[in-house]
Every structure is written in structure tokens, then in C-alpha cells.
Structure 1
Amino acid sequence: MGVFDSVRRGPRTGGDAVREHITQTTGSDDAYVFSYRSLDVHAYVLDQPAPHVLYITFGKSRVSSSQPSAGTQAELTMRVPGSPALPDQWPADLLARAARDEIEPGHYLSLEHPRGTLTGFVFVTDPILGVLDGPTGLIRFTYAVGLAGDDVERMLSWDPLKFAKLVGDRVPLGMTSTNRDALSANPDDRAWLDRVVGVEGSSIGAMHARYLDVDAGGRVDLDPAAARALVRAARHRLLHHRPFALLRGDTWLLLDPHSPTTELADDHIVVPATEAFAHEILAVFDAMPGTYHLRTAPLVIRVLDPAS
């Protein structure tokens, strides 16, 4: 390409670099494009290393710019097995929705409405596309690894990145499927997970609640999903002497085994999460809507369905 060609085309953009990287890595530049309001999702039907469709967002990073920026940008990816004549739209829809949030390796997503056996995702750096150093700076291709059945619950009880590695060891490229069995369907994997989770506990020290409200009288209102997180934390965080917090905006509930005193306020509560407290949560608390009066802490927890 001559000097005049370069001038006519203009400077190389982040989008140019993304396209070139995909072509060099996959050997394909033939993408089917799904267009959304703020970005596109490109789908490539590939034969190697196994037949699959590679979905990649295009526009979460600075694809139209040639100017460097600080920090690491991202594009999201997903792989679905098969060689369809026309790629399915649902993986593109899922990536486009996920791209509205800032997602990094170790983050996870639980589907409110499962698709077949697919119940959620855990995100890692894409094992093939990796990180690109382009004209706008570093662009990480962040890969959605599909989770099936009770994989999400078992992942939250342990460690997202370690669980993603286990899925990658069991499923070629960690591809996403709507009919894969949960890892726990294999007796050996289930026994191994039970053992390692019992030893290591959970790495997740905080979760955002869909609904959470507290007051200085010790009242805690939360939704069923947050209640399930509380039960999970009692078993896999508090009994390992690790703190756990529920957050919603400026409101928070901290259960801390190392806190010497209880702190009650209209926007936050801190509770010394003793072993007795953890065992009481496991014995009497439930994620079903209802009111639960605790004896080991001055709390009244109400599980509410925000939709009702």
C-alpha cells in the first residue's frame, strides 16, 4: 500500500485492528452481522479446532477511533458448537445485553430465564483471541463460558475462575450449549467439587442484591436471590471465617466474623458473624418469602418478592 493509499484511508482504527486480529487468528473474514442500537455482534462459522460459531461484539471497544486511551477496553465473545448455514441469533442477543455492563474475567451472569439447560455464564480472557494491542490501546476479548444446571450455584460456592477452568477441561473450548449436562451430573466431578468447596469455601465476598433495605432497628428486607446468597455465604464464607456483604446502591449489609460489635444504621448494618450466627442462618433461615427473627443477632430478616 502506497503513501497516497494510506492518506486516502485515514489512520488505522481500533475496529481495523480488531478485524485484522480475528482474521489472522481464525483464518476467516466472512462474518454474519447482527446489528443492535449501540454495537454489532459478528458471527463466524468456523471448522477449527472444532466446528463452532464464534460470536464477537464489535463496538464495546473504541472501534471508530484511532486515538490511544488509558485502561483496557473489551469485546465480548462466545462459542457455540455446530456448523449452521445461518448462525442463531440468541447468542448475539445475550452478548449484546451483557455488553451494556463492564465485564472482566472472573465476573459472572445468571440467566433469569434459562435457555434449555443453560443457566448462566462465567467470563474469562478468550483462550484463543486473548488481548490485542491496537491503535487505541489494549483490547481484551472477554469470553463467556456457558454454565448448565446447578453449575452456577456450585461456581458461586467456590471460585468463578477456577470453575471456568474446570469447565474448559471438560468441554472443548468451554463452548456454550443449551443441552449440556451440569458438571455435577458426573459422579466423579460432583464428588471432587463437594470436596474442594468444603476445603476452600467461596472466593465471593460480596454480591449486589436486586432488592435490599435496612434500618437502625435491625430490619433487613431482601429479595429471594439475595436470601439464597446469604445462605450460601453462611456455609461457604462465614464458617470459613470470611466476611460477606450484600450491596444495593448506598445500602449494605456486612456479615463479618472479625467485627467485635454490631452496628445498626438506616443505610447499613454490620453484624459479628459468629459460628453460632452462621449455624442459625443455616438452620432456620430460608429463601422463601417470610419473616425470620434471629437469636444470635438483633436482626429481623424479611424475604420479599419485589414483583408481588
Structure 2
Amino acid sequence: MNEEAVTTGWDAIEEQMKKLYGAQEPKHYGTVIPYMLGGKDPLDGLSAYKAENPLPHWHIVTFGFSELYEKESENKEYSGYGFELTFRVARTEDEEEPPMWALNLLQNMGRYVFSSGNVFASGDYLDANGPICLGTDTQLTALAFVEDPELPSVVTPNGKVEFLQMVGITEDELEAMKTWSTSGVLGASQTNLPGYITDLSRDSLLRIPSIAETVQRGLEQEGSNTGFLFVDQLAWEPGKSRLFSKTPTVLTLGAKQAGTVGKLLRGRLLKGKDLTLASQDLRVVLEPGAETGYEAGEQEVRLRLDEATADELSRKLLPKEDRIELTAYKGCIIQVVKTHIKDQDGNVVSTIG
């Protein structure tokens, strides 16, 4: 194998890391069996550097979301998926190896992207539906993505590569990011979350009054940046006319998402913005309008809500099983059903609603 000819993408990543850490030799973890040959780990490698500022931590970078060797994709602007992930994890003074849970988590992110085709961008978030480090009592149960503050994007011979840093977040921080914005919540937390370092032992930042107040003020003034929300439990059943009666139209929503959607209605529709809910088979577009009404196709439904109806629904949508009838939507019912949270083996570990 001609190393000079095929490792240009890999070399470009290492060069960026050398600008930060000089001659420091990172702890590198390669993949024994390539993913394309049946290996379990989709990323070709992970490198962990010891960083001291602003606090001691491991700075881990992935190799594999971008094209590390020869150019294969037709997209000339970006290399592969166009990014590599980084992860800053708190480190004790006597630690000589990065925590395995962090390395495993990054490989899991690789599996998610490679299997789904969904890519990450700055401002995104992902609910892990449980501790990001399995078997611990950490409050960090989700991830946010932001541009790595010390690694600007780089243009390689295979295209552009951005460095996205993963940040472990709590359930209520995730909710705040959905209902306001990821950058807003992280920006309000910079003093208390230096370098966006993930520390499994930390408490929710929203317990700090100044941060909670900033988040609430941002939501009220700016509304929400979340215009699209993926919803596992989403169904639409149009009403049917019978001889002496008519069954109502029913929109079904899972309890886990119901409370979030209720808050998003305030941050989107009451600010004049649309909100799209999407499952694998259906899209429901909620949009502000002078009058209530809906248009339904095979895979997309558009619901118009006037201000009073949007406000009413936002107050009634809660994370619990319910049957919601709206004043202005006489023939339409919102059915909130229980959400069963399952582990990787498909076992129900908790129920919402």
C-alpha cells in the first residue's frame, strides 16, 4: 500500500491535532477488522490527547466519518460525511488511558450514522434514552453537537471536514435546547461548562438560577429554533361518515413527545413559525393560520391552528395518556398514548404516560 497516496485525509486530521498538541503522542485505538469486512466498529480509529485547559480532560477525535484514504464519493465539496467527531471528557490527574465508555460511545455514533445515513451538524442533539455511560447513575442522558472551539474546519484533498464536538447533556437541558436553541443553552452555560467538557458527575445546569432565567428569557423572546422533530409514535386516522354519525379525525402522539410538542407550539406557532413532526411513514406540519383547518394526503398532513387554538393545545399537551378535544377543532381529537422506553435488547425499561 502506498501510504503517501492513500492517507491524505487521515494526515490532514492529524495535522490539525498537532497544531494543538505539538509532538504529544496520542493514545490511539485502531480497528482490527474493517467495518466493510464484517468488523463491529465502523470508525477506522480514535485518538485521545491529554489536554490541560481549561480543565484536565481527554480530547478524543474520530477517524472515519470523512474519507481518510482515496476519494470515493461524488461530492467534491465535502469529504465523506463532511465531519469528524470530537469528545472532551473530564480526566483525573492519574489517568493514563481515556475511559472506554467514551470510545464505545463514539463508535456507537459511527454505527448510527453508517446505518441510518443521518448526519450531525452544529446545533443538533440526540436523546440517548438512558445514561450515556451505561451502568452509571449519571444524569447525562443525551448529547448535543457544537463546532469544536479549538478545531476549525479543514480542506483536505478529499474535500472539507468539520470537527463537531459531542457534549453530554441532561434530560432537562435537552428539553431546553429543543424549545429554545442548542447554541443558546450552551452559550448561557459557558462559565459553568468550560470547554464543553463532559463530566459524568455534574448536575443539571438548569438548577443554576441565572442559567434557567436566561433560557426562559431566550424562549420567550426568540421562540424555538427546532422546526423539525422526529417522533416515533405518530399516526393520523381521518374521520369517517356513518349513517347517523361521524367518527372524529384522530392525531395520535406518544406521551414522551407530547410535552415537548406542547412547549414547541409556544416557541414556533405562537411566534409565526411552522413545526413539522415526522415519523418514518408520516409528516404532520403544524402551521399558524387565521382559521383552523387541515389538508391530508397519504403521507403528509397540514394542520392550521389559529393563535387561540395553538395556545389551547400547548397548554393541554402533557406527557401523559390523554384524549384532547379542542374548542375550534370539533371533528379532530389529539390522542396521547403511552411511550415505552426500550433498551438495546428490546426490553421495556420505563413507561411514560
**Same fold, TM exceeding 0.5?**
yes
Unaligned runs of at least 5 residues, structure 2: 32-39, 114-118, 133-137, 240-248, 341-347, 349-353
SS of aligned partner of 1:168: coil
| 2:58 counterpart residue number | 53
- C-alpha distance in structure 2 between counterparts of 1:251 and 1:174, whole Å: 36
| 1:203 counterpart residue number | 225
| 1:70 counterpart residue number | 76
Deviations 1:32-51 (A, max 9, x none): 31645211332222334531
Contact 1:216/1:266 (<8 A) preserved: no
| 1:140 counterpart residue number | 162
Matches within 5 A, 1:187-266: 187-217=209-239, 218-258=249-289, 261-266=293-298
Q: TM-score, normalised by structure 2?
A: 0.78
- What fraction of aligned residue pairs are identical, expressed as a percent? 25
Contact 1:223/1:306 (<8 A) preserved: yes
SS of aligned partner of 1:114: coil
- C-alpha distance in structure 2 between counterparts of 1:220 and 1:15, whole Å: 49
- C-alpha distance in structure 2 between counterparts of 1:32 and 1:8, whole Å: 18
Given residue 67 of structure 2, which amino acid in structure 1 is its aligned partner? R
Offset at 1:59?
A: 0.9
SS of aligned partner of 2:85: strand
User: Which of residues 145, 151, 168 is equivalent to 2:173?
Assistant: 151
Given residue 153 of structure 1, which amino acid in structure 2 is its aligned partner? E
Q: How many residues align?
A: 303
Deviations 1:238-260 (A, max 9, x none): 22222211011341111111375
Check if 1:124 corresponds to 2:146: yes
Contact 2:284/2:302 (<8 A) preserved: yes
- C-alpha distance in structure 2 between counterparts of 1:278 and 1:13, whole Å: 53
Q: Aligned pair in 2 of structure 1 residues 281, 8: CA closer, same or farther (>3 Å)?
A: closer
Offset at 1:266?
A: 4.4
Offset at 1:104?
A: 0.9
- C-alpha distance in structure 2 between counterparts of 1:67 and 1:275, whole Å: 50
| 1:3 counterpart residue number | none
SS of aligned partner of 1:53: strand
- C-alpha distance in structure 2 between counterparts of 1:270 and 1:8, whole Å: 54
SS of aligned partner of 2:221: helix
| 1:302 counterpart residue number | 335
User: Which of residues 87, 108, 121 is equivalent to 2:98?
Assistant: 87
Given residue 128 of structure 2, which amino acid in structure 1 is its aligned partner? L
- C-alpha distance in structure 1 between counterparts of 2:254 and 2:224, whole Å: 21
Segments ≥4 residues shifted beyond 4 Å: 66-69
- C-alpha distance in structure 1 between counterparts of 2:104 and 2:332, whole Å: 42
Contact 1:257/1:274 (<8 A) preserved: yes
- C-alpha distance in structure 2 between counterparts of 1:19 and 1:249, whole Å: 38
Mean Cα displacement is larger for which, 278-287 or 239-248? 278-287
Q: What's the Cα RMSD here?
A: 2.5
Offset at 1:109?
A: 1.1
SS of aligned partner of 2:327: coil
Given residue 31 of structure 1, which amino acid in structure 2 is its aligned partner? K
Offset at 1:61?
A: 0.7
| 2:107 counterpart residue number | 96
Q: TM-score, normalised by structure 1?
A: 0.88
Unaligned runs of at least 5 residues, structure 1: 1-6
Q: Aligned pair in 2 of structure 1 residues 281, 67: CA closer, same or farther (>3 Å)?
A: closer
Given residue 125 of structure 1, which amino acid in structure 2 is its aligned partner? E
Q: Aligned pair in 2 of structure 1 residues 265, 291: CA closer, same or farther (>3 Å)?
A: farther
